[in-house]
């Protein structure tokens, strides 16, 4: 597949990823789209298929390039945003989405010595790939009811608190269902239905994701 064909086939993904990182719609006429397009091609040239899908890898590269673009001062916006419905799954209108949006001012991004929130999300996406979980599928995997979400989070924290269970999850890529049923307790049907959400919650809680954890705890009443 040549460059032009590859980019055309992935155009929707590139636009969606750029829009997700910036927290606003991105069109083909925007400078950010050109940056994202170039980043995707860069990723395609260096991608190792044995380490995951091209799109998962490309999403990380695109985020990094867009963050660099923002840091350069050429970006006309004043903030980048990350949609919180990835974690809550309870967005019912555009106004609610805007009200729940996490905003990171450009100055804070420039002054941040380590990773940005977008970089954390990129790393989390790579981890979730091991479980065959697409980061962009998480909104559809989240419990809609707050009570159900609270139970799932309790189950995730139970796994995090028991080193043996956390190690087993990461080794087998399967939830330790029997222990969770008795230790939380939680119904098996919830473990099966919300597997993706629970695993993502475990990796967020147990991993090195301070930015995501701060948001996650604040919204879920931890």
Query: How many distinct helices (H) and strands (E) make up the chain?
Result: 15, 2
Number of domains in the chain: 2
3-state secondary structure (DSSP) of residue 105: strand
Q: Grade residue 112 by pLDDT with cuts at 50, 70 and 90.
A: very low
Asked which of 84, 107, 138 is the last residue of a domain, the reply is: 138
Work out the burial of residue 205: count CB atoms within 10 Å of its CB; fewer than 13 is exposed, 13-18 middle, 19 or more buried.
buried
Shared domain for 134 and 151, answered yes or no, is: no
Q: Grade residue 83 by pLDDT with cuts at 50, 70 and 90.
A: very low
Q: What is the pLDDT of residue 206?
A: 92
Shared domain for 117 and 212, answered yes or no, is: no
Cβ contact 32:18 at 8 Å: yes
Shared domain for 128 and 157, answered yes or no, is: no
Q: What is the pLDDT of residue 2?
A: 79
Shared domain for 114 and 175, answered yes or no, is: no
Shared domain for 53 and 74, answered yes or no, is: yes
Shared domain for 8 and 94, answered yes or no, is: yes
Shared domain for 74 and 24, answered yes or no, is: yes
Shared domain for 120 and 21, answered yes or no, is: yes
Q: What is the pLDDT of residue 186?
A: 96
Shared domain for 176 and 129, answered yes or no, is: no
140-152 b/e with 16+ CB inside 10 Å = b? Answer: ebbbeeeebbebb
Shared domain for 70 and 180, answered yes or no, is: no
Domain that holds residue 126: 3-138
Look up residue 66 and give its two tokens: 């867009």
Residue 20 is given by DSSP the state H
Shared domain for 95 and 76, answered yes or no, is: yes
Asked which of 98, 121, 138 is the last residue of a domain, the reply is: 138
Give the whole-number percent of the chain exceeding pLDDT 90. Answer: 36
Q: Give me the mean pLDDT over the 66-81 stretch.
A: 59
162 pLDDT above the threshold of 50: yes
Shared domain for 203 and 182, answered yes or no, is: yes
Cβ contact 143:89 at 8 Å: yes
Asked which of 138, 162, 193 is the last residue of a domain, the reply is: 138
Q: Grade residue 96 by pLDDT with cuts at 50, 70 and 90.
A: very low
Q: What is the pLDDT of residue 68?
A: 79
Q: What is the pLDDT of residue 115?
A: 53
Strand partners, 105: 79
């Amino acid at each position: 597949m040549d460059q032009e064909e590859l980019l055309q086939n992935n155009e929707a993904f590139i636009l969606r990823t750029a829009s997700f990182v910036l927290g606003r719609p991105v069109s083909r006429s925007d400078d950010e789209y050109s940056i994202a397009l170039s980043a995707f091609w860069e990723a395609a040239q260096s991608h190792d298929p044995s380490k995951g899908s091209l799109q998962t890898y490309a999403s990380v590269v695109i985020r990094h390039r867009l963050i660099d673009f923002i840091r350069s001062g050429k970006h006309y916006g004043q903030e980048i945003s990350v949609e919180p419905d990835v974690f809550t799954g309870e967005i019912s209108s555009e106004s609610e989405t805007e009200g729940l949006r996490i905003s990171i001012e450009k100055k804070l991004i420039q002054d941040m010595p380590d990773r940005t929130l977008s970089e954390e999300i990129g790393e989390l996406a790579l981890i979730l790939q091991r479980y065959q979980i697409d980061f962009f599928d998480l909104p559809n995997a989240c419990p809609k009811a707050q009570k159900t979400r609270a139970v799932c989070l309790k189950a995730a924290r139970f796994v995090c608190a028991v080193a043996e269970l956390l190690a087993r999850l990461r080794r087998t890529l399967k939830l330790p269902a029997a222990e969770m049923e008795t230790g939380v307790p939680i119904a098996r049907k919830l473990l099966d239905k919300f597997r993706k959400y629970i695993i993502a919650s475990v990796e967020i809680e147990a991993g090195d994701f301070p930015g995501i954890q701060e948001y996650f705890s604040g919204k879920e009443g931890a």
